[in-house]
Structure 1
Amino acid sequence: MPTLHRTVAAVAALVILAGCSHAQDGPQTPGARADDSTGQHAKAAWRYDYAGQDTNAAFSDVAAASADDAWAIAKSPVTGVVDNQDTHLFHYDGQRWQPFDLPPALRRLDDLPLVRLEASGPRDMWLFAGIVTHPDRSHPPLAAHWNGTTWRTVRLPHDFPQAVRGAAVFSPDDAWAVDGSDTAWHWDGQQWQARSLPAKAQALAGTSGKDLWAVGSGSTRRGQSRPAALRWDGSRWKKATLPAMPPGPQDDPHSGELTRAVALSAQDVRAFGQVSSEGGDTDAYSAGLALRWDGTRWSQDDGVPCCVSGQAGGVLFLTPKRYLTSAGRQERITQPPCPGRRSGKLGESGCRQKLQLEEYAAIPESREVWGVGSVRGQAAPSRPVIVRLRAAP
């Protein structure tokens, strides 16, 4: 959701997930442009690309292989008892989002709650699926590849991770996956192979297969967790030096980890995480952590509020209502209209519903971004939606 090119079923269930797709209305301009004479830029606004009718479902991931080939994953139910979720696959053909029957290669998705999509370009998309807790041999992890025509399962080593937390895809013969352990997995076009890491990795981000970052955590001699950043230079993984973290009280030293990484360029990589302590004889402590790589060294990024919820197209999303431009400006995002027959926009008086987004993806050959998630409120506990906007540079 959050790597290089971000960049997300049962036939009976597809009937209630099906909703309104607005691509037939033409290109979606996300807001009126400001007068150029004022020197102001256009205000970004979310517009619906798809709104499902189900009131207990949500999109969880999205990825685009090209301008007319994108995929999204939805789950239902997402409120109440969610032990037995259905997985729904959606496809974008350049005109509209539509439900897509699960092909034979993906029939096991209903048994694997954590599903992740990642793409590098046309004819090269990966889907990873697994179980976060209590894995067993009856539900092994799944990896499938989309070649632009067909989804095909890919044979995995017996020790391939149950749940892929971070992935980066650069070409059909160069992809990486991590799961929070000290092992990374590399695809060379033929098979997945394990590579040892000098620390545990939660997320990946990079501009090429020869300049890739993994972020996560390492341990001190006393067992405290410390943020870690690892760099792949095309031949080996090397641990980078990070700014010193505040040690905290002697009886309750701080722990920290990085959980998200964003590569805006080879000279501009961001990493986000948290520093915390359990309390001990003092109050518990927790604070966001934002670091920035400038091509030479890592430093604390005081100009970025923590925490970033996603990235796509050079834009850092802080919340569905606010984003950070590549120039470092915080910008507000106008919310989409209230679903159904209510007037006004989400969150306004008379519409006590809010937009909750899980992942983002840049729309190829455009300056627009997709966000996927749900609209939640008393009237509809969780209505699945796909929205788009054009952000300021």
Structure 2
Amino acid sequence: MLDIAAVSQREAWAIAELYDTGGSVPRMQMLRFDGSRWQKYDLSSDRRAVLGSGTLGTPALYAGAGSAWLFARVHHGPGTYSTPIAARFDGTHWLAVALPKESDMAGVAVLGPSDIWALGNPKQQTAWHWDGRGWTAIRLPLEARAPYVTGITGKVTEVDRNQAFRLAEIAPVPGTDEAWGVGKVELGAFGDANFSRAVIVRYRP
């Protein structure tokens, strides 16, 4: 099993990696829970809209507020680049959702069918918001703010104040406007001054 996401007590989705007898290349199998049992979901009926002529790779499922989303990369064959895709389940089929130019998404939070947040390239620190019609870029702060993480000396030096915060994953707190996040604080300095620390952050509006 590669990933799983629960929409409600009666609906959940999972993706498994299967190997056919004698085969060396895995294929992806989507599964759907209908409240009583798990069943294979035939993605081929939605294939052209979601995958085009490619094959699914590195999938990630997200769910919340009665909505299920799929983010993945699609492979188009040897010697070609994989492309990122996004899709949402409308209750009957998986439908492709156009991604912005900077389209490698991570840390997705599904707050509603028309309220999706996703993190973009960690180095560019961009968040993206889906409002049901399109994506809007939200710039995140690149520099870490006090309290700073201590460097190798155990103290916050002047150099340490140049550290950057890289957000990797976000999780909304149900019923509130708050969110938790995980990532790292790093200082791109040379020698012993360079460091990276894992951090947990909390957002309160």
TM-score, normalising length: structure 2: 0.68
- Name the counterpart of 2:145: none
Matches within 5 A, 1:48-67: 59-67=1-9
Deviation at 1:147, TM superposition (A): 2.1
Matches within 5 A, 1:96-111: 96-102=37-43, 103-104=45-46, 105-107=49-51, 111=55
1:180–1:201 contact (8 Å) kept in structure 2: no
Q: Secondary structure at the match of 2:2?
A: strand
Deviation at 1:67, TM superposition (A): 2.0
Q: Deviations over 1:344-376 (max 9, x none)?
A: xxxxxxxxxxxxxxxxxxxxxxxxxxxxxxxxx
- Aligned pair in 2 of structure 1 residues 251, 158: CA closer, same or farther (>3 Å)? closer
Deviation at 1:60, TM superposition (A): 0.9
Matches within 5 A, 1:364-383: none
Deviation at 1:115, TM superposition (A): 0.7
- Aligned pair in 2 of structure 1 residues 109, 216: CA closer, same or farther (>3 Å)? farther
- Name the counterpart of 1:195: 138
- Aligned pair in 2 of structure 1 residues 190, 146: CA closer, same or farther (>3 Å)? same
Q: CA RMSD in A?
A: 3.3
Q: Deviations over 1:41-77 (max 9, x none)?
A: xxxxxxxxxxxxxxxxxx1111122222211101134
* Alignment pair present for 1:169 and 2:110: yes
- Name the counterpart of 2:196: 255
* Alignment pair present for 1:127 and 2:70: yes
2:73–2:83 contact (8 Å) kept in structure 1: yes
- Name the counterpart of 1:222: 189
- Aligned pair in 2 of structure 1 residues 76, 106: CA closer, same or farther (>3 Å)? farther
- Aligned pair in 2 of structure 1 residues 137, 173: CA closer, same or farther (>3 Å)? farther
Deviation at 1:198, TM superposition (A): 1.5
Q: Tell me which amino acid in the other structure corresponds to 2:62.
A: E
> C-alpha separation between the residues in 2 aligned to 1:214 and 1:109?
36
1:175–1:186 contact (8 Å) kept in structure 2: yes
> C-alpha separation between the residues in 1 aligned to 2:139 and 2:203?
26
Q: Tell me which amino acid in the other structure corresponds to 2:42.
A: D
Deviation at 1:149, TM superposition (A): 2.2
- Aligned pair in 2 of structure 1 residues 62, 87: CA closer, same or farther (>3 Å)? same
Q: Tell me which amino acid in the other structure corresponds to 1:111.
A: T
2:110–2:116 contact (8 Å) kept in structure 1: yes
- Aligned pair in 2 of structure 1 residues 126, 294: CA closer, same or farther (>3 Å)? closer
Deviation at 1:215, TM superposition (A): 2.9
Deviation at 1:170, TM superposition (A): 0.6
Deviation at 1:184, TM superposition (A): 1.4
Matches within 5 A, 1:322-333: none
Deviation at 1:180, TM superposition (A): 5.1
Q: Tell me which amino acid in the other structure corresponds to 2:6.
A: A
Higher-Rg structure is 1
Deviation at 1:108, TM superposition (A): 5.3
2:91 to 148, 153, 170: 148
- Aligned pair in 2 of structure 1 residues 221, 155: CA closer, same or farther (>3 Å)? closer
* RCO comparison, higher one (Cα < 8 Å, 6+): 1
2:10 to 68, 93, 110: 68
Q: Deviations over 1:163-197 (max 9, x none)?
A: x3311111112111124511111111111222221
Q: Tell me which amino acid in the other structure corresponds to 2:72.
A: A
Matches within 5 A, 1:170-185: 170-179=111-120, 181=122, 182-185=125-128
Q: Deviations over 1:221-252 (max 9, x none)?
A: 626xxxxxxxxxxxxxxxxxxxxxxxxxx847
> C-alpha separation between the residues in 1 aligned to 2:94 and 2:50?
8
- Name the counterpart of 1:160: 103
> C-alpha separation between the residues in 2 aligned to 1:254 and 1:293?
22
Q: Secondary structure at the match of 1:141?
A: strand
Q: Deviations over 1:272-302 (max 9, x none)?
A: xxxxxxxxxxxxxxxxxxxx7597xxxxxxx
Deviation at 1:257, TM superposition (A): 3.1
Unaligned runs of 5+ in 1: 1-58, 224-249, 259-270, 272-291, 296-393
> C-alpha separation between the residues in 2 aligned to 1:175 and 1:61?
19
- Name the counterpart of 1:95: 36
1:86 to 21, 27, 30: 27
2:106–2:119 contact (8 Å) kept in structure 1: yes
